[in-house]
Each structure stands twice: as structure tokens, then as C-alpha cells.
Amino acid sequence: SQQGEEDPQALSIQEGENATMNCSYKTSINNLQWYRQNSGRGLVHLILIRSNEREKHSGRLRVTLDTSKKSSSLLITASRAADTASYFCATANPNFGNEKLTFGTGTRLTIIP
């Protein structure tokens, strides 16, 4: 089974609008993280939310976690052209210890200037 599925797979919005991406997962987790990947580059850590947290903010980012639904959302407010990238959720599974990250399929976000 797939651990970590984001939707939508692709999202295009106008600069200044808000972007919302969703992630679902299947197994129990210690925490869920969001990473950004610019085209052809490495992964940049954005934010981590623990399993006992429901919402977290960091600058223009807002993450929610619903462990009963095994889902998370990432909201980017007041989007900028520089936010164009792929966004991945990643889970750390307690069965494997706090090490291995399992990534989702990603959402490709395009901000139209």
C-alpha cells in the first residue's frame, strides 16, 4: 500500500492566492513533515507536526494534522512566484523508529505571476 499520497498532483494558482495541498497516509506515525523540492534540486524541510499536534504555523505556512482521518494539509498563504516547486509530505513511522521517512507522491505547485 502507498504511504503518503498528496492531492492534487498538480496545482496552478495566481500569485497572491492561497495554495492548499493535502496528504493522506495509512499507518500510524510519530510525526508528519512537509518538504519542498525545486526542479532538479534537493529537498528542503519546511515544517514538522507531531502526532499529538493538530495545527502548526511557520511564516506563511500552516499545517494541520488529523490523525483520526490520517490526513494532513499544507496551506501556503499569499503565494509568490518563488513558491513554485513540488511539495512532499513525509511520515516517520514508530514501527521503524524515528529514522526512515516515507514520502508521498508530491504536489507540483505552479504560481502564475
Partner 1 sequence: EPEVTQTPSHQVTQMGQEVILRCVPISNHLYFYWYRQILGQKVEFLVSFYNNEISEKSEIFDDQFSVERPDGSNFTLKIRSTKLEDSAMYFCASQGDLAKNIQYFGAGTRLSVL
Q: Using CB under 8 A as the criterion, which residues of the chain lie in contact with partner 1 when the complex forms? A: 4, 30-31, 33, 35, 40-45, 48, 88, 90, 92, 96-106
Of 76 and 90, which has the nearer Cβ to partner 1?
A: 90
Of 74 and 92, which has the nearer Cβ to partner 1?
A: 92
User: Least distance in Å: CB of 17 to partner 1?
Assistant: 26
Q: Edge-to-edge strand order for the sheet containing 19-24?
A: 5-7, 19-24, 71-76, 61-66, 55-58
CB-based burial of residue 44 (10 Å sphere; 0-12 exposed, 13-18 middle, 19+ buried)?
exposed
DSSP state of 53: -
Of 106 and 111, which has the nearer Cβ to partner 1?
A: 106
